[in-house]
Chains A and B, each alone.
Chain A
Amino acid sequence: MTQQDLADKIGVTRQTVNAIEQGKYSPSLEAAFRIAAAFDTPLEGVFHYSKD
C-alpha cells in the first residue's frame, strides 16, 4: 500500500501520512484508529509509545 493509498483511505493528505511515518506528527486518536482499521490490525499493532 502506498502512502497515497493510505492517505485516501483515512482522509488525510499524503504529506500527513509521510509526517506520521517519520515521527514528526502525532495523529489524532480518530486518525490512528482509521490507520489501524486500514491495516485491519489493532491500534498497538501500528503505534508504539516510547518515553524517549
Chain B
Amino acid sequence: MRTAQEAALAKHITEWVKRGRSTNGVDVPDFSEDTDLIAAGILDSRGFIEMMLEVEQQTGNRIDLNDIDPSEFTTIKGLCRCAVSQVSPC
C-alpha cells in the first residue's frame, strides 16, 4: 500500500527531475514514476546522485541501498518507497 508521504515525495521528485532536465530548453523525454531513469538516459550517475541527495534532504534520512536491487531504486516510485520505509527498506 502506497502511503501519502511516498506519493507526495514522488510528485516532488518528478517535478525536480523535469526542472533539471529542462535547463537549456532541452526537450524532456516522457517519463513516469515507473520509468527506469538510468536505462532511459534521463539521468546519468551524477544526476542520480543529485536526485538521491534531494530525496534525502526531503526525508531527512540517509538511504541504505546496499541490499536493494538497483532496478528498484532507479525509478522514482521505487526510490521514494525505499526512502520512506527506512526501517526495513523495500
Are A and B a genuine interacting pair, yes or no? no
Binding site for A on B (CB under 8 A): none
